[in-house]
Structure 1
Amino acid sequence: MNLTKKQANKLVTGCIDNNRKAQEELYKLFYADMLRVCINYLPDREMAKEAFNTGFLKVFQSIKNFDTEKGELGGWIRKIMIFTSIDKCRSELKFNHLLITDRDDDEFFISPDILEKLFFDDILKEIRTLPLATQTVFNLSVLDGFSHKEIAAQLNISEGTSRWHLSEAKKQLKGLLETSAKGAGRQAERSGKTK
């Protein structure tokens, strides 16, 4: 959600002044996108809704610290939602403190012809099948661009453990997506034959 600086300033000022209309407008404006962020990190919708509501409480409590000159309001709220989601699922996560040896990422390469056969929802469904710890590291790294150092600090794990989970996610996803793509290809062939 891209707001002009003027729109963002108006919303921020209204929220700082405890203006209920401004708070409601901010909430409604970012509801769908930020709930989706929470859903990406949490295994069930109820936990995601809880994290979302906790995150918005944090937004309203700390909005006086937001500076429209230094950042974009949506990006600032997104970070709060990510960190709140991580806090929410920390107790659920069971990280193995493993070290990964250097592996060549090419062995986990997914060819474009496989990805072309899948929709985003298919890919997201497969990401959801990963163990929660592995899924969280994958989301932070691939979807949100966090470094292994940042992931390690957020999840209280070593950088090596973060690398292992990312590598494991890529390895598992490669197999899952290849299987899904084959199924999608067979389905497309059947649909073509019936016409």
Structure 2
Amino acid sequence: MNLPKHQTDELVNGCMNNNRAAQESLYKLFYADMLRVCHSYLPDKELAKEAFNTGFLKIFQSIKNFDKEKGELGGWMRKIMIFSAIDLCRKELKFTSLTLQDQDKDEFFISPLALERLYFEDILANIRLLPYATQTVFNLYVLDGFTHKEIADQLNISEGTSRWHLAEAKKKLRELLDPSRPNDQRTERSVKAK
């Protein structure tokens, strides 16, 4: 969400001065967007809320470090929420060290036809079927543009493990989104995956 410069300045200055009205306004303005960010990393609603609350606490504590010349307030807040969700993922999830075999290095193709048929909620529902660790790496790489090195640093895993999780996510999503498979087979597989 891009706010006008004067509104950003007013909110940031108010929050720096611990003005409760400014903090409440900032919270209400970004509530839905930031909670959505946490939900994209943590499918469990309680964990997502925990990351969200921790993220907002970090935002209020470090708002004095926000530099409007370097970026937009919403983007800065989003990054804090992502890192809060990742921190919670690290505590809750177990990442194993895995590496890609040479034959597994091929990129997996998902048909554009399959993607055209899906809405965001449908895609998110299929992403949710992935194991947490694989889902987290997929979200960081595909949705938020992190590199494998950045993901490895954030999750305390090797770059090879990050690549493996991404390849595994693409492979499983391709299976789930395969338009040649009848809907009842995809649904049946989705139920088994849960």
- TM-score normalised by length of structure 2: 0.90
Give the aligned partner of residue 24 of structure 2: 24
Greater CA drift, 89-98 or 9-18: 89-98
Give the aligned partner of residue 77 of structure 2: 77
- Following TM superposition, where does structure 1 have runs of at least 4 consecutive aligned residues deviating by more than 2 angstroms? 179-182
SS of match in other structure, 1:99? coil
Q: Cα offset for 1:16?
A: 0.4
Number of corresponding residues: 182
C-alpha separation in 2, matches of 1:179 and 1:34: 32
Give the aligned partner of residue 33 of structure 2: 33
Give the aligned partner of residue 148 of structure 2: 148
Give the aligned partner of residue 61 of structure 1: 61
Letter aligned with residue 6 of structure 1? H
Letter aligned with residue 104 of structure 1? D
Give the aligned partner of residue 97 of structure 1: 97
Question: Can you give the 5+ residue segments of structure 1 that lack an aligned partner in the other structure?
Answer: 185-195
C-alpha separation in 1, matches of 2:123 and 2:2: 26
Question: After superposition, what is the alpha-carbon deviation per residue over 1:122-159, rounded to whole angstroms, capped at 9, x for unaligned?
Answer: 11100001000000000000000000000000000000
- TM-score normalised by length of structure 1: 0.89
Letter aligned with residue 127 of structure 1? I
Greater CA drift, 71-80 or 175-184: 175-184
Report the RMSD for the aligned CA atoms in angstroms: 1.5
C-alpha separation in 2, matches of 1:10 and 1:126: 41
C-alpha separation in 1, matches of 2:89 and 2:113: 35
Higher Rg: 1
Give the aligned partner of residue 187 of structure 2: none
C-alpha separation in 2, matches of 1:81 and 1:173: 25
Instruction: Note closer, same or farther for the CA distance 1:164–1:11 as it changes in structure 2 (3 Å cut).
Output: same
Confirm whether residue 86 of structure 1 aligns to residue 90 of structure 2.
Answer: no
| C-alpha contact (below 8 Å) 2:114/2:179 kept by paired residues | no
Question: After superposition, what is the alpha-carbon deviation per residue over 1:109-133, rounded to whole angstroms, capped at 9, x for unaligned?
Answer: 1111111222221111000010000
C-alpha separation in 2, matches of 1:97 and 1:176: 25
